[in-house]
Structure 1
Amino acid sequence: MPRPACALSTGKAALPAEETFFCITFKQMPALMRLLCILLPLLCLHVFSSANVLHTGHGQPYPDLTVAAKAAVPGDTILLHNGTHAGDQSLQGLQGKPDRWIYLLAEKNGDVLFKGGTSAWRGSDIAYLHIEGMVFTGQTGNGLNLDDGGTYASPSHHIVFRHCIFRDMAATGNNDLLKLSGANDLTIEECTFLNGSPGGSGIDMVGCHNSLIRRCRFENMGANAVQMKGGSSNIFVEACVFKNAGSRAINLGGSTGTAFFRPANAAWEAEGLKVHSNVFIGSEVPVAFVGCTRSEVVNNTIYKPGRWVIRILQENKDTARFGKCGNNTFRNNIICFDEQVRTACSTGPGTAAESFTFSNNLWFHTGDSAWPGPQLPAHEKSTLTGKDPLFRDTAKEDFSIKAGSPAAGAGFAVQHPEKDHAGTRFKSNRAIGAFEVKQ
């Protein structure tokens, strides 16, 4: 028989005899417990009622975000009203609490525009912030710049971006739509990155850890869409779309100046990076492993890259400190390409490319049925070549596979990713590529 729904009873409701010992009446409680029962709800009501909504924008009590951020306390919501807001706003030191985040919300998603400035926002030593619905455009430095203020031992942390748009950098150099240095426990979800600087990144992460980039879209990037370097670790990139996303759509590692590593003694550009269930369309090279280790690219779909499929590089030449790029995995991916690709895998000097694991990838050359297969630096197990993956409709960017696809059930058994690009759980005998076969 189910337990009573609550631990208290008025004494009037009849309960089965075997269950009456779970309930006591209010009068039977000790005096102190009765007092707590009265005061605790009032205390909770006070805590939640003390949270304020800070109306921000032209004609509002708080004229701009900088002013609102200085006034906000844990639990508050900064509500940005629709319209165009000036760039160069400051979030300096803005911190919520684990149980009282500070929310920065658009009145309506997509209708709050931060335009211009060197950066739309800058923020150092920030924490427990949820940012949703903003548009950032036309900056000359970085779109947003969030960091640890140079105090490497106290990173910014617990920051969520959701349904934001970063677009149209007004610069041509190494300028990023979202620059993150010394920031941990990040979630960047369902955001759009569009028209980056030719020399910059969509998201550039230097010394960032324990973070998730999920269901984002990157289009028309410059150097890369996502770069994770400078000691970055334990970052997941899941179920994103990368379309013409730069010279290197994903840069797993990179080349970082010694003074900028977080932690300072990191022996790798990056480690423990996971690239799962993504779709790559175009780009000079979709995936570059650059000075990283123990990282994996699993269950992705790669469609018509411009020059290579993979690059394995070692750009940081300090061999006394840094380990060689190695012990990484490329598995369960569909690669569909044409005559633009001359070499599937480009391997640079000073790497441990022979330590890579390649397995269960499907390679299909659309214009050469006699293509012999990729030349890889390590033996690939269970390779599929020359078999059309049977995408549903590439013209509409629908890279799900039909039931008769050779990719169906041909994947290597792995624990992660658990779900495909569309959010469907992979079967025990999983498919190759970003999509499980539809029922």
Structure 2
Amino acid sequence: MKILFFIFSFFIAGTIHASVLHVGAGFPYQTLDHASRDARDGDTILVHTGTYSGDIYLGNLRGTPSGWINIIKAPGATVFYSGGSTGWHLSDVAYLYIKGFVFENQTGNGFNIDDGNSYDTPSHHVILDSCTFRNINATGNNDLLKMSGVDDFEIRNCIFLNGSKGGSGIDMVGCHNGLITCCHFENMGNNSVQAKGGSSNIRIVRNFFRNGGQRTLNLGGSTGLPYFRPAGAAYEASGLGVYSNIIIGSDAPIAFTGCVNTEVVNNTIYLPSRWVIRILQENTDNERFVPCGKNSFINNIIYRDNRISADCNIGPGTDAGSFTFSNNIWYNPQNSGWKGPVLPVTERNGIVGKDPLFADAGSDNFALQKGSPAIGAGINVGLPFPDYSGVPYSNPRSAGALEFK
């Protein structure tokens, strides 16, 4: 399976008539929403040091392909959006580049992007870069970043900390053609990342997850029928790609939940607490939804201990027999006689019972030492191109998130 590769280009103040709109105490605009009313394509909104109130609403703010609107913190500034139900709420937006903000202590969702319930006109071409979403002041189904009906997006170099017990770091409903890369997730509730409601063609690449929730990556989910985008989607998610990530802890690092044509390749999974993988079907309308199936789990390193109740937990109504398992490294340091995982199909070229020889896992250094059985043990695949550190994989490639150097 090939996942679409998206590169978004932008230029700060990218048109000859572009303006810089300054926000902050002593500047022309006191608040971001006031500045946004005067912003035109190619403009930059520059926010200066301060702690600002949440509940900022930006509706129909749209740049153009040649003139993105840039919302960034001023050089050297520290900018917090604290409290409110939502830090920012973006609705029906396009061609926005947002960089450098901290969102904290919200009581609803930390940050919202949606299509304004106009499903045929999604928000699109949005980049979130180097932002922090943390310390949500809620315990229910509250997300640090909620996205509904967003296409052609990128979330990069962001930090997600201390999510709600019942929520996600990033929760996507009906989102398409996206990239989540080089982000850090820690202490999540239900999930670190969830993509459901007809989401498709989203890549999750080169991220770090620690204690990522009940399901670090919920690839699919359970969505009410009125919220699917597109409305007739027969799956919760399709065409997701999980590549070159480091995943530490959580009840289940990987949950395939009503998804199809999704691949989990070249990741390092370290000490999950209950399962390694779950295969589930939570939307059970058999006349509409295809069963969870035709997914793959390839070239991963799984370092698990005796806490695991089942390496692969399979729920009813799935097509687990259509999965592909290949070239994974499975190791249990607490049981030298462990026979390996019980999987729904026979794995091709799996390796069981050999220490992957991490450099220093206790310090989060999962580089492979000389002599590791993971070196050159992977099957060559189209993606990922680089490993977790950005180094290209060798030919033949190693298993896990880091190529041997």
Q: Which residue of 1 aligns with 2:64?
A: 97
TM-superposed deviation, 1:216:
0.3
Partner SS state of residue 90, structure 1: strand
- On the 8 A contact 2:48/2:77 being kept in 1, the answer is no
Give deviations 1:134-177, integer Å, cap 9, x for gaps: 00000000001110001000000000011100000000000000
Work out which of the residue numbers 158, 174, 192 in structure 1 matches 2:125. 158
The match for 2:203 among 227, 236, 248 is 236
- How far apart are the structure 2 equivalents of 1:108 and 1:85? 17
Give the secondary structure class of the aligned counterpart of 1:68: helix
Does 1:279 find its partner at 2:251? no
1:69 aligned onto 2:36 = yes
Q: Structure 1 CA distance, aligned partners of 2:286 and 2:182?
A: 36
| 1:13 matched residue in structure 2 | none
**C-alpha distance 160-375 of structure 1, shift in aligned 2 (>3 A):** same
CA contact 1:110–1:165 (8 Å) conserved in 2: no
How far the C-alpha of 1:59 sits from its partner, in A, is: 2.2
1:140 has 2:126 as partner: no
Match status 1:413 vs 2:380: yes
**Which of 173, 180, 184 is 1:213 aligned to?**
180
Q: Which structure would you say has the larger Rg?
A: 1
The 1:50/1:379 distance shift into structure 2, 3 A limit, reads: same
Which residue of structure 2 lines up, in the alignment, with residue 319 of structure 1?
A: 286
Partner of 1:346 in structure 2?
313
Tell me the equivalent position of 2:4. Answer: none
**Structure 1 residue 339: deviation in Å?**
1.3
| SS of the residue 1:436 aligns to | coil
Match of 1:248 among 215, 218, 224: 215
Output one character per residue of 1:94-152: Cα deviation in whole Å (capped at 9) or x when no partner. 00000000000011477100000000111111000000000000000000111000100
Aligned ranges 1:25-424 → 2 under 5 Å: 48-108=15-75, 111-424=78-391
What is the CA RMSD across the aligned residues, in angstroms? 1.1
- Partner Cα distance (1:231, 1:97) in 2: 27
Percent identical among aligned pairs is 54
Q: CA deviation at 1:49?
A: 3.7
CA distance in 1, matches of 2:242, 2:249: 17
- Structure 2 residue matching 1:302: 3-state secondary structure: strand
Equivalent-residue separation in structure 1 for 2:336 and 2:15 (angstroms): 65
Tell me by how many angstroms 1:83 deviates: 1.1
Structure 2 unmatched runs, 5+: 1-12
Give me the whole-angstrom Cα distance separating, in 2, the residues matched to 1:239 and 1:403.
23
SS at match of 2:59: coil
Asked if the contact 1:91/1:122 (under 8 Å) is kept, the reply is yes
What's the offset of the Cα at 1:58? 2.2
CA contact (8 A) 1:362 1:384 kept: yes
* Alignment partners' CA distance in 1, 2:348 and 2:102: 45
Contact 1:110–1:164 (Cα < 8 Å) also in 2: no
Higher relative contact order (CA 8 A, sep 6+): 2
What SS is found at the alignment partner of 2:294? coil
TM-score by length of 2: 0.96
Distance 2:218 2:248 in 1: 16
CA distance change for structure 1 residues 110 and 139 in 2, over 3 Å: closer, same or farther?
Answer: farther
- Code of the residue aligned with 1:286 in structure 2: it is P
**May I ask how many residue pairs the two structures share in their alignment?**
393
Alpha-carbon deviations, 1:301-341, whole Å to 9, x = none? 00000100000000001110000000000010000011111
Deviation, 1:48, is 3.2
